[in-house]
């Protein structure tokens, strides 16, 4: 539980280039015909009709810096006051240095601002918010920026090229299906002390749980993302239900005003809604048009929904990440 932390702002950079699932179907047509697979699987099975990609010359870290600058401006916080910046991007250009150092420099943060990457698949952003909230509660820092930028271009291109090879079978095709749902985007959030910012949105706390025996069910790199979809869904739902049940000892989340889920697919969303008994009308979706933007999915969806939220609304951030891990965080709007 957090005692004196508020979300002050959340901003996004939406990638401008639209790649439709029909476009991908056309590029995969020879493979679909050879494997006797129907068109429209991405739309009918995943519910992903479009995803975004960066324009020529755009970089994911520049997009993240842009989102961060707008988040700071919206919160009214000068960069010199930031004590912590956490980058949660899955995407990276190289193993070292961290992506965080490029973003720290781009935001013009002071030398005193601690900066590093957190890598925890699609849960990184929520994990980053939790860590930042703990440091704010302890009085170690006044403000934190959590930031994420993703670029799905390379993995899309590599996956489509590989799926067109004559040695790829149906099982291989379906194991890489999730790679085709990925999209690009960036998001940033600013956190600070609630007593200094009564206009902010209180971060009340949450739960995390792990089922790391499933660490090999979804493994990704720039070459592709390879999943055992059936086992992944089963293990993920068991973990969510376990965490949801345990959380009832301290939290009451059955009647939230919004459930901001990590954006994956129709199958994933339907499974979580059914497993936890959520009101589907309170679960906004962005994956039909943005795809799965990794850790940026939750803040992008929250940002899109923010204009519809009213003061006092209860919002629950929820996600399952490869590994497997789950995290849930309550915000009082």
Tens of pLDDT, residue by residue over 279-308, are 999 999 999 999 999 999 999 999 999 999
Assess contact for 134 and 2: CB atoms under 8 A: yes
pLDDT band for position 223 (cuts 50, 70, 90):
confident
Average pLDDT over residues 12-33: 96
Annotated catalytic residue 122: yes
pLDDT at position 167 is: 93
Assess contact for 183 and 220: CB atoms under 8 A: no
Residue located via tokens 């005692």 = 3
From the candidates 22, 56, 96, 310, which is the catalytic residue? 96
Q: The pTM is what?
A: 0.96
Question: What is the share, in percent, of the chain residues with pLDDT greater than 70?
Answer: 100
Average pLDDT over residues 170-199: 95
Assess contact for 93 and 150: CB atoms under 8 A: no
pLDDT at position 238 is: 93
Beta bridge partners of 205: 330
Residue 88 has pLDDT above 90, yes or no: yes
- Distances in Å between the Cα of 233 and the Cα atoms of 53, 80, 265, 324 are 27, 44, 11, 10
Residue 230 has pLDDT above 90, yes or no: no
pLDDT at position 226 is: 85
Question: What is the share, in percent, of the chain residues with pLDDT greater than 90?
Answer: 93
3-state secondary structure of 120: strand
Annotated catalytic residue 96: yes
Residue 258 has pLDDT above 90, yes or no: yes
Across all residues in the chain, what is the average pLDDT?
Answer: 95
pLDDT tens for each residue of 187-197: 999 999 999 99
pLDDT at position 225 is: 80
pLDDT band for position 227 (cuts 50, 70, 90):
confident
pLDDT at position 331 is: 98
Report the top-level CATH class of 201-332.
alpha beta
Rounded (10°) CA dihedral 152, 158, 162, 163: 30
C-alpha to C-alpha distance for 168 and 191, rounded to whole angstroms: 47
- Provide the token pair at 11: 């901003």
The residue among 149 and 225 whose pLDDT is bigger is 149
pLDDT tens for each residue of 108-161: 999 999 999 999 999 999 999 999 999 999 999 999 999 999 999 999 999 999
Average pLDDT over residues 262-269: 94
From the candidates 22, 50, 56, 122, which is the catalytic residue? 122
* Those residues with Cβ within 8 angstroms of residue 74's Cβ, 6 or more apart along the chain or in another chain: 8, 9, 11, 190
133 burial (CB, 10 Å; 0-12 / 13-18 / 19+) is buried
Phi, psi (deg, nearest 5) at residue 204: -85, -30
């Amino acid at each position: 539980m957090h005692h004196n932390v508020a979300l002050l702002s959340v901003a996004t950079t939406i990638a401008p280039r639209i790649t439709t699932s029909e476009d991908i179907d056309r590029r995969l047509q020879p493979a679909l015909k050879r494997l006797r697979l129907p068109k429209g699987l991405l739309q009918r099975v995943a519910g992903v009709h479009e995803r975004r990609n960066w324009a020529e010359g755009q970089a994911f870290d520049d997009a993240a810096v842009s989102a961060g600058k707008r988040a700071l401006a919206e919160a009214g916080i000068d960069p010199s006051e930031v004590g912590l910046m956490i980058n949660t991007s899955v995407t990276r250009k190289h193993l070292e240095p961290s992506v965080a150092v490029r973003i720290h420099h781009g935001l013009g943060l002071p030398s005193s601002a601690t900066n590093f990457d957190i890598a925890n698949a699609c849960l990184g952003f929520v994990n980053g918010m939790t860590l930042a909230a703990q440091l704010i509660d302890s009085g170690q820092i006044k403000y934190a920026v959590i930031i994420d930028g993703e670029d799905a271009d390379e993995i899309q291109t590599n996956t489509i090229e590989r799926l067109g090879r004559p040695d790829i079978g149906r099982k291989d095709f379906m194991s890489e299906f999730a790679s085709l749902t990925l999209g690009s985007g960036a998001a940033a959030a600013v956190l600070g002390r609630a007593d200094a910012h009564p206009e902010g949105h209180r971060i009340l706390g949450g739960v995390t749980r792990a089922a790391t025996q499933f660490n090999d069910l979804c493994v990704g790199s720039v070459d592709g993302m390879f999943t055992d979809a059936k086992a992944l869904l089963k293990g993920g739902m068991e973990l969510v239900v376990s965490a949801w049940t345990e959380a009832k000892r301290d939290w009451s989340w059955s009647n939230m005003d919004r459930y901001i889920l990590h954006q994956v697919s129709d199958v994933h969303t339907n499974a979580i809604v059914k497993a936890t008994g959520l009101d589907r009308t309170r679960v906004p979706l962005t994956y039909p048009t943005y795809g799965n933007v990794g850790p940026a999915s939750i803040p992008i969806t929250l940002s899109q929904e923010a204009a519809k939220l009213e003061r006092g609304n209860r919002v629950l951030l929820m996600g399952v990440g490869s590994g497997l891990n789950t995290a849930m965080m309550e915000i009082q709007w």
